[in-house]
Structure 1
């Protein structure tokens, strides 16, 4: 049985040519004991999936070192990520000859992205954190799940891509070129008491009830299954009637 869309989370990490996920780390918040995974690519990009914890409040351990071949990653994210597996796994991994180090000593824990915005706190709700720079964006693909804009895939020069929010590849709208535009507009609405979601995004004109966002600075997106908190340069994007 497939779970309803509002109960599922989707993680998407677009990779550049010649880039692959090379390290997998497990992180646990020492206060709440909630947990998540951190992915590191061979180009030193870092993406967290599952619960986000501030680095100074978490423990972190290396799960696997991976090569470039395709693989499947399984994880259970009901309340943090405790159960996970990789098929096939590249473990045990061997460091270069003469290094004199075990893989666990040779690799340093990754530095997690530090949000400018505060992490949302709701009982029994884990928010996933993503962010992207808005400068140099050449195109945008919007992920629309029902009435909710759950995330964006941003394209840059030379084919590089970043994403924010919750991305389902089967719910992506046709990419829109940015061209000479200097701003876009995002509508955030109250979908249930105390719960917000992005419900519309526009790149051509100024619809009512939205917030103007310039193509500069950093967009931060905290996403849970039923709600989101979105910030631009540390300022929260709120419903128009707040």
Structure 2
């Protein structure tokens, strides 16, 4: 039986995700951006929470751990860095596996935004929860890691099947699209940006996305093709990525 994903908005621009293995009824929350929102959605769905799966330590991803565990008694799984701000029951890293009933998640190392950032990938259902590493038309800021580390992380995600559904943690797509258009004039990107702007005008979500769509239009995954436009011609791929990331950091559009 498949994995059910329930997505809901929280905080100012975060998304929360509750995932349920339908064969067993076991349920996990991907990160804990807002305690009240998570508990409300669980009550509305009638689901009991068994696990929290954390992608990284930032407060809008792990800040609700303690309060949600106090209410539900769930087990918290995530990278060691989470203990900087919140309780953790099981430490995991790249290459580990995490069971949610009959569903098995592969843990993918995805540092760069933070040093110990991870993603959770369900290969049976081709679903990935990527936190703040990969966004629709974007990627996370390099708060702790290096450009080389983030580029390697993005390549690990890009190696997943093109039809993998990608759940990223923020609704940043319209602003990401405006930047992307400033460094890339590919027709596929222009068409996608127009669709994104129209969706946001309607109040529609632009998450989830897919690996294939990101490979085709995301300027951070396309960085080597954009090297000349960001003054990185002849540089290694990671340096081209660094130039695109730097351009985004200073972008005012």
Q: TM-score range by the shorter chain?
A: under 0.3
Higher helix proportion, which one? 2
* TM-score, normalised by the number of residues in structure 1: 0.28
* TM-score, normalised by the number of residues in structure 2: 0.27
Higher strand proportion, which one? 1
Specify the structure having the higher radius of gyration (Cα): 1
